[in-house]
Structure 1
Amino acid sequence: MSTVTRVSQRLGVIVVFGLVFPLLALPRAAHADDALGEESQGSEQQAETGDDGTVSVTVGGVVFDRSKNGRGGSAGVLRSSTSWVPPACWYAPKYTPEQLQKYLEPIWEAGSTGHEWDATQRKKYLNPDEPEKDFNKDRTGEGHWWGSYVNDSYPPGWDSCDEDYFWVDRGDPPPAGIENAVTPEVLAELAYAEIRVPGTEVTLAPAGEAKVNLPTWAWLDGAEFRPVSVTASVPVIGIEATATAVPVSLEIEPGTPDAETFPASGVCEIDGGRIGEPYARGKADRDPPCGVRYLRSSGEGTFPLQATVTWEIEWTGTGGAGGDLPDGTFGATQGVVVQEIQAINR
């Protein structure tokens, strides 16, 4: 029985019968004239902040512009409202012919990947009778070797991109049948994962503790809850996509069954660009458009009020491409003290 050995493009490890061994230290790929540059799968390579505050980060062969993202310490990641998740791995331009040669040859020379694998690789890239002989150096400047990258949090499916390096001529689409090779739509899905939205701690009023049987108004700062977006691009092949998140509703869960919400569904729709309505003097006897009425005291503790904002996601991309992605949600919990109204009889 022959030993099965596989080299992971993503982690730089050798896997033999499920055992993992680190590869010897290898030289990094050199910078090329067409700016692929050094790559390290799934990690941030370069972050640039311009004078206008634009934040550009290159991750896994993709450049992300986060300048229109949500900000602040309480900003967070959207969770899809369906079972859909952004790609856990993807393929993008990775090496010029010379770069791939400088990356692979030290692996073969180390002899740690097994004779069978080394022989197959050498045949593919060096045999003069093969279509991609000499790493396609005769096509330098006409395309790139594509390879896999991984979301560095390693979500389920991170190891599904196991195709060997493949060549794509400049201007051509990636080969059919290769899932998650970067296209405008795949870039939009990757941008979705980079979106950060503002925290959802709601303002409650009247100020102070909530009172049993009296309505408590709830609202969010309209200045913060505006559309946010992230643009993902692969400049070396001239494609990009922007994913935009727009807030559409706030759902309130009081944290106890002994409560009523306004509206009864607990879902406050966006109205005139704002979520809920700020409380003001003279409104104490009115039901709020968004809020809660607690029917019993929280005693010595608090009720965990959960506030969750739903965001609709749409995308646009190179060549007029575009569409919708699943809604995303982001929520937070805050403790609410509810007291009985004290009355004094004389």
Structure 2
Amino acid sequence: MASADDSPTGGTLESTDTQQQANVSDKGDLSVTVGAVVFDRSKNGTGNSAGRLTSTTSWTPPACWYAPKYTPEKLQAYLEPIWAADSTGSEWDAQQREKYNALDPDKGFNKDKTGKGYWWGSYVNESYPPGWDACFDKEYFWVDEGDAPPADVKNAITPEILAGLAYNEIRVPGTEVTLAPAGQTKVNLPTWAWLDGAEFKPVSVTASVPVLGLTATATAEPLSLKIEPGTADAVTYPASGVCEISGSGGIGEPYARGKAERTPPCGVKYLHSSGGRSYPLRATVTWKITWTGTGGAGGDLPDGSFGATQDVVVQEIQAVNR
């Protein structure tokens, strides 16, 4: 990854021609720079159980895109060793030198325009979703500062592409629900389930390209919780197993003394014992994703989901005859 010194304007561009991986690691860094894109994750979900959203549709993050990649000096530093190695053939090397005016010490690689634009190149999403190779039809091309890329360049970086990249970096809290009774429950005993609204608040990630003045923020807000008991011998509350978010921001309702005779608004009732083992109850939260960006752009992105499994022990109720 390039250092911040690669761009005279403070933005970070690539210093090598590897197809830069667009996704950043799962480390807790609040700000991460990848290629020309800066990710602000200071409002992201945190904690060891936080995780990446999965789209509830066939949507995938942007597969590839074009963005500023090299200053004139950096492009020269990258290409000239390749030509010197004669690994691509003398004819090709000569064509490339002519294209970039490499023999002119003052204007070669557009050095006379240093600080006034960038050489653009392609970037690829590290998960290589379908379409990842759609950005290989363009060699490096120059764009003056303040100008739009050529009209024939598809997948040039936009606020909407940045929003998709930001979506991919969102991390949401873990989804282990609170159960009552806790730890283990009884056959035919309604078990209450809920998530604390204080923990399930909106989270967001902002992606930007400082050298272009482009930015987009993707925000995830919890919508609902789906309970899957881990066995067919159970019923859920409500029957669909989907618990909607409440006005307080939580999901479900905490159990309290005096509620034993009530039906939980969110929960499960097991009809058979787990037989000395446990049932793998899965709790999945669906998150609504919206985005806003430069120039008033914005809209919706596909909902995302994140879930986790927890063990529930179910015992038979023992009766004693006297």
SS at match of 2:261: coil
SS at match of 1:223: coil
* Deviations 1:106-135, CA, capped at 9 Å, x for gaps: 11111112334323312211289xxxx722
> What are the within-5 Å matches in structure 2 for residues 134-283 of structure 1?
134-162=108-136, 163-272=138-247, 273-283=249-259
Alpha-carbon distance in 2 for matches of 1:193, 1:86: 6
Q: Which has the higher contact order (CA 8 A, sep 6+)?
A: 2
Q: Which runs of 4+ in 1 moved over 6 A?
A: 27-30, 44-47
1:42 correspondence with 2:17: no
- Structure 1 residue runs without a partner (length 5+): 1-9, 11-26, 48-52
| Number of the residue aligned with 2:276 | 300
* Deviation sequence 1:1-41 (CA, Å, 0-9, x none): xxxxxxxxx9xxxxxxxxxxxxxxxx999734223445255
SS in 2 for 1:337: strand
Q: Deviations over 1:31-56 (max 9, x none)?
A: 34223445255359999xxxxx9821
**8 Å contact kept, 2:22–2:125:** no
Distance in 2 between the 1:299 and 1:68 partners?
A: 44
In structure 1, distance between residues paired with 2:5 and 2:96: 21
- 1:29–1:100: 8 Å Cα contact kept in structure 2? no
Partners of 2:227 and 2:281 within 8 A in 1: yes
Q: TM-score, normalised by structure 2?
A: 0.90
Counterpart of 1:145 in structure 2: which amino acid?
Answer: W
SS of residue paired to 1:284: coil
Q: Distance in 2 between matches of 1:316 and 1:124?
A: 39
Amino acid at match of 2:263: D
The whole-number CA distance in structure 1 between the counterparts of 2:186 and 2:91 is: 75
Aligned in 2, Cα 1:199/1:122: closer, same or farther, shift over 3 Å? same
Decide which of 306, 315, 318 is 1:330's aligned counterpart: 306
Task: Write the distance in 1 (CA, Å) between the matches of 2:188 and 2:308.
Answer: 24
Question: In the alignment, which residue of structure 1 is the partner of 2:74?
Answer: 99
Q: What is the rounded CA distance, in whole Å, between the counterparts of 1:270 and 1:82 in structure 2?
A: 21
Is the CA contact (8 Å cut-off) linking 2:52 and 2:172 kept in structure 1? yes
CA distance in 1, matches of 2:23, 2:185: 49
Please tell me whether the aligned partners of residues 42 and 60 of structure 1 are also in contact (alpha carbons under 8 angstroms): yes
Number of corresponding residues: 313
Q: Determine the C-alpha separation between the residues in 2 that align with 1:111 and 1:29.
A: 31
What amino acid is aligned across from residue 126 of structure 2 in structure 1? D
What is the root-mean-square deviation of aligned Cα atoms in Å? 2.7
Q: After superposition, where does 1:121-140 map in structure 2 within 5 Å? A: 121-126=96-101, 134-140=108-114
Aligned match of 1:314: 290
Residue pair 2:5, 2:12 contacting (<8 A) in 1 also: yes
The runs of 5 or more residues in structure 2 that have no matched partner are none
Output the CA distance in 2 between the equivalents of 1:44 and 1:308: 27
Identical columns (%) = 73
Q: Determine the C-alpha separation between the residues in 2 that align with 1:46 and 1:217.
A: 38
Structure 1 position 286 matched with structure 2 position 259 = no
Output the CA distance in 1 between the equivalents of 2:317 and 2:4.
71
CA shift for structure 1 position 235:
0.7
Residues 9-158 of structure 1 aligned to structure 2 (within 5 Å):
31-37=6-12, 39=14, 41-42=19-20, 55-126=30-101, 134-158=108-132
The 8 Å contact of residues 75 and 109 in structure 2, kept in 1 or not, is answered as yes
- 2: distance between equivalents of 1:113 and 1:229? 45
